[in-house]
Structure 1
Amino acid sequence: MASYESFARVYDEFMDEVPYEDWSNYIQLLIDEYNIKPKLVLDLGCGTGNITELLSQKGYDMIGIDNSEEMLMIAKEKARDKKLEILYLNQDMREFELYGTVDLVISICDSINYILEEEELLEVFKLVNNYLDPGGLFIFDMNTEFKYKNILGENTFASNNEKCSYIWDNYYDEEEQINEYNLTLFVEEENNLYRKYEEEHYQKAYSIDTIRNLIENAGLEFINAYDAFTMESPKDNSERVYIIAKEKTK
């Protein structure tokens, strides 16, 4: 899985147009829709903690897990500055460990797409099932194959500001259903000099049917799938979907 080692330094700079508050409100809408009252929430693939913080401010006790130590350092600094008590753990979601169970697990901003093998994704779902309280929910989002094929694949994106710039090349392999991101960063350091960093990241497209089978094989109950930020079923041109699963075995 990608660690965003260089990108961690400028991640929030380039993600400043993401409406995180709207995203957290949508998670709250889903929580209310399924009538659960979570107290302790686990955020898998929390990155620099943008969603984690917003849910903490809504009154939830939050645990954030990410495999990038650099991302978590930034998340911890932001939490300290805002006086938020959030437990951040540097772990891989494919083998994470907790001291106890949680009421709700979330994974937002296509973290699930970084799991490239179905067998490994099944392990993630099994761990989620293991650490969910009876009747607890699992809410996560995914980029769709439509997005990789028609929006990202074979396209180049670029951004520039006073502190940093990036060039983001995409290549989608339809047979493997994997999108390769080649990221070139230019980050300002001392004396108006810029250092160049290069990173490669990979994400896999999963069909909803595949996700349903993996969820059920993990012992969870597949509840629903939504076109992102709506309460409608996914469409052929949905770019992001949300999946709702539930713990049912304990």
Structure 2
Amino acid sequence: MTNYQKFAAVYDSIMDDSLYDQWTNFSLRHFPNDKKTLLELACGTGIQSVCFRQAGFEVTGLDLSHDMLALARKRAQAAQVAIPFVQGNMQDLSHLGQFDLVACYSDSLCYMEDEQAVSDVLEQVYAHLNSGGIFIFDVHSTYQTDKVFPGYAYHENAEDFAMVWDTYADEAPHSIVHELTFFIQDEDGRFERFDEVHEERTYDLLTYDILLEQAGFKNVQVYADFEDKKPTKTSKRWFFVAEK
């Protein structure tokens, strides 16, 4: 495994595994029973895609990262499930077909650089959904970006890697910067340093509603924090369920 694939694998070790069960359960409650073909955007190392496949969906996974997808293919093979993984940008799905369902979790839409980029994704998803299809995605709430994240710090030391994660408020409204530094052990026992900067931005609920309506979606429902409850002022994660 290359160092970059090791770097991608570190993401799995720092993620809370219970979140994938929660994303799966939320999806199963809100996806119609008669819909089967599912596209997962920003699928990463494929954990959620495998969960969806094991739940009975015909899954296609899309991600920008070659290294993430290499791990996703190994994960699907180990789980003995068939999932096509495609490298690509969710702002351009023209090389893909039509789907009954689309999911985009782990606040992946918050990585879009601006409102227009979010709009582009919504329009692409709408174009590649079958009539009556459902799009589910989650994003950080404005409370999360404005009150919870700024000043957040997380450090972890494991046998073969160490990580420092600090989060700061950014200039644009409801935006944050995650600065991540990893020290990953190579085959010779030496630690190699990797630095990444992740910029995320969210918008108020009305903005998402407007963008979804402009893309053509209808019957938009909004929930919070993996539960079938409406958002409150202190909800951290918003879930949108939209129909074509």
TM-score band by shorter chain is: over 0.9
Measured in 2, the distance between the counterparts of 1:164 and 1:37 equals: 44
Task: Using the TM superposition, name which of 62-71 and 190-199 deviates more.
Answer: 190-199
Q: 2:124 aligns with which of 114, 124, 127?
A: 127
Moved over 6 A (4+): none
CA displacement at 1:228 relative to structure 2: 2.1
Measured in 2, the distance between the counterparts of 1:116 and 1:74 equals: 26
Match for residue 26 of structure 1?
26
Q: 1:178 aligns with which of 175, 178, 184?
A: 175
Q: 1:116 aligns with which of 113, 116, 130?
A: 113
3-state DSSP of counterpart to 1:154? coil
Is contact 1:216–1:222 with CA below 8 Å preserved after alignment?
A: no
CA displacement at 1:155 relative to structure 2: 2.1
Measured in 1, the distance between the counterparts of 2:166 and 2:209 equals: 31
Is contact 2:102–2:136 with CA below 8 Å preserved after alignment?
A: yes
What is the letter of the counterpart of residue 30 of structure 1? H
Identity %: 29
Match for residue 44 of structure 2?
47
Is contact 1:98–1:131 with CA below 8 Å preserved after alignment?
A: no
Task: Using the TM superposition, name which of 202-211 and 93-102 deviates more.
Answer: 93-102
Measured in 1, the distance between the counterparts of 2:76 and 2:55 equals: 14
3-state DSSP of counterpart to 1:10? helix
Match for residue 212 of structure 1?
209
Match for residue 72 of structure 1?
69
Are 1:14 and 2:14 matched, yes or no? yes
TM-score, normalization: structure 2? 0.93
Deviations along 1:63-94, one digit per CA (max 9) or x if unpaired, are 00101111111000111111111011000111
Is contact 1:143–1:240 with CA below 8 Å preserved after alignment?
A: yes
Is contact 1:228–1:242 with CA below 8 Å preserved after alignment?
A: yes
TM-score, normalization: structure 1? 0.91
Are 1:224 and 2:211 matched, yes or no? no
The total of aligned residue pairs comes to 241
Are 1:85 and 2:82 matched, yes or no? yes
What is the letter of the counterpart of residue 208 of structure 2? I
Q: Where does the alignment leave 5 or more consecutive residues of structure 2 unmatched?
A: none
Measured in 1, the distance between the counterparts of 2:170 and 2:106 equals: 21
Measured in 2, the distance between the counterparts of 1:219 and 1:127 equals: 11
Measured in 2, the distance between the counterparts of 1:100 and 1:175 equals: 35
Are 1:138 and 2:127 matched, yes or no? no
What is the letter of the counterpart of residue 23 of structure 1? W
Is contact 2:47–2:75 with CA below 8 Å preserved after alignment?
A: no
What is the letter of the counterpart of residue 27 of structure 2? I
Deviations along 1:99-120, one digit per CA (max 9) or x if unpaired, are 4210000001110111121111
Is contact 1:215–1:222 with CA below 8 Å preserved after alignment?
A: no
Match for residue 58 of structure 1?
55
Match for residue 97 of structure 1?
94
Measured in 1, the distance between the counterparts of 2:200 and 2:96 equals: 30
Is contact 1:212–1:222 with CA below 8 Å preserved after alignment?
A: no
What is the letter of the counterpart of residue 219 of structure 1? G
Measured in 1, the distance between the counterparts of 2:174 and 2:161 equals: 31
Match for residue 187 of structure 1?
184
Deviations along 1:163-196, one digit per CA (max 9) or x if unpaired, are 2111011111364322111110011112321111
Deviations along 1:12-32, one digit per CA (max 9) or x if unpaired, are 11114443123211211122x
Q: Where does the alignment leave 5 or more consecutive residues of structure 1 unmatched?
A: none
3-state DSSP of counterpart to 1:233? coil
